[in-house]
């Protein structure tokens, strides 16, 4: 379950948004290049401070847990940043068997999306971590502070690295939806733990209309690649649908597990920058 929670947060990063030509257009089967070196003029964005998203996770017939993402403005060393808090917690009957209380935070630049600080404080059935990562992009270095074990690790940064949460918002503002090709894959560099930097890979599967509690929603569907074995049945066990409007928010995530299946649906939202488009019959 702890690995599933991780991939659900990671999958929020698959939100897409077309941008002006001053930002690099990203082609399928290429690595995502992030962080423009110079600050740009005001551009169209997919979100604004105050945005709040809530997701409900189902395991079989159980409402297993809830996850939320809240975006607001802040500053780090005088630099305007977005501060996002992601929180996940089991609820009801499911919490009797497996208690989860996770908090993820990210501070990232309002102009180019590069992360400055990432916080991961989790308790998942007794499995705990308390990690803070400070990114120094000038020195191309990150310092990971493992507060639980009282250890610090220095990690050499590679180009275009994002943390687990900043990657979600970066993609919303910088991926060109017109370049999507069915069957093609993209990768993105991630750093969120002492395992180091890794490539997160996903495949585009096309458009699909989902029935939701809000009505029918046109979506882009993706297939993130995960590690098969103890948690997932196979490498392509996870599917993600994001809205095909200007908000590009996750609508549904589903996964076939080694035992059973789990699904996460958008259950609430507030402060969206653009109109949430519902298909009217």
Which has the higher per-residue pLDDT, 228 or 190? 190
**Biggest CA pair distance of the chain:** 57
Could you tell me the pLDDT band of residue 235, with boundaries at 50, 70 and 90? very low
CA distance 86 to 50: 13
- CB contact at 8 A, 264 and 67: yes
**178: three-class secondary structure by DSSP:** helix
Domain range summary for the chain, segments of one domain joined by +: 2-270
> Is residue 144 over pLDDT 80?
yes
CA distance 107 to 116: 6
Averaged over 8-14, what is the pLDDT? 39
- CB contact at 8 A, 169 and 113: yes
The CA-CA-CA angle for residues 202, 161, 15, to 5°, reads: 40
Whole-structure pTM over 0.85, yes or no? no
Residue 198 is predicted with a pLDDT of 84
The CA-CA-CA angle for residues 101, 65, 74, to 5°, reads: 55
> Is residue 29 over pLDDT 80?
no
pLDDT tens profile 96-134: 677 889 999 999 999 999 999 999 999 988 889 999 999
Residues near 247 by beta carbon (within 8 Å), at least 6 away in sequence: 46, 47, 272, 273, 274, 276
- CB contact at 8 A, 54 and 266: yes
Q: Which two tokens stand for residue 103?
A: 């908090």
> Is residue 23 over pLDDT 80?
no
Mean pLDDT lowest among 33-42, 58-67, 185-194? 33-42
Find residue 206's DSSP bridge partners. Answer: 221
Could you tell me the pLDDT band of residue 205, with boundaries at 50, 70 and 90? very high
Find residue 31's DSSP bridge partners. Answer: 187
Averaged over 75-85, what is the pLDDT? 95
In 244-272, which positions are buried (b, 16+ CB within 10 angstroms) versus exposed (e)?
bbbbbbbbbbebebeeeebebbbbebeeb
User: Which candidate, 192, 189, 140, 150, places its Cα nearest to that of 9?
Assistant: 192
Residues near 238 by beta carbon (within 8 Å), at least 6 away in sequence: 7, 11, 223, 224, 226, 232, 253, 254, 255
pLDDT tens profile 163-189: 989 988 988 887 677 788 999 887 889
Residue 191 is predicted with a pLDDT of 92
In 191-215, which positions are buried (b, 16+ CB within 10 angstroms) versus exposed (e)?
bbbeeeeeebebbbbeeeebebeee
> Is residue 142 over pLDDT 50?
yes
How big is the chain by its Cα radius of gyration, in Å?
18
Place of tokens 């653009």: 274
């Amino acid at each position: 379950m702890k690995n599933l929670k991780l991939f659900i947060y990671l999958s929020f990063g698959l939100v897409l948004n077309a941008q002006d030509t001053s930002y690099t257009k990203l082609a399928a089967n290429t690595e995502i290049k992030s962080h423009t070196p110079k600050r740009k003029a005001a551009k169209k964005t997919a979100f604004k401070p105050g945005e709040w998203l809530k997701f409900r996770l189902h395991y079989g017939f159980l409402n297993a847990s809830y996850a939320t993402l809240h975006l607001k403005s802040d500053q780090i060393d005088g630099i305007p940043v977005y501060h996002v808090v992601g929180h996940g917690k089991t609820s009801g009957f499911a919490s009797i068997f497996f208690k989860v209380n996770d908090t993820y935070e990210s501070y990232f630049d309002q102009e180019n999306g590069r992360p400055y600080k990432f916080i991961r404080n989790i308790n998942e059935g007794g499995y705990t971590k308390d990690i803070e990562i400070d990114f120094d992009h000038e020195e191309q270095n990150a310092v990971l502070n493992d507060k639980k074990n009282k250890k610090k690790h220095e990690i050499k940064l590679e180009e275009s690295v994002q943390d687990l949460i900043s990657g979600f918002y970066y993609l919303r503002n910088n991926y060109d939806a017109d370049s999507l090709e069915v069957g093609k894959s993209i990768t993105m560099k991630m750093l969120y733990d002492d395992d180091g930097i890794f490539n997160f890979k996903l495949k585009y599967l096309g458009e699909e209309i989902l029935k939701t509690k809000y009505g029918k929603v046109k979506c882009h569907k993706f297939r993130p690649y995960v590690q098969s074995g103890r948690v997932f049945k196979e490498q392509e066990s996870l599917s993600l649908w994001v809205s095909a409007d200007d908000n590009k928010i996750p609508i549904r995530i589903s996964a076939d597990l080694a035992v059973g299946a789990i699904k996460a649906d958008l259950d609430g939202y507030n402060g969206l920058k653009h109109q949430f488009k519902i298909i009217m019959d």
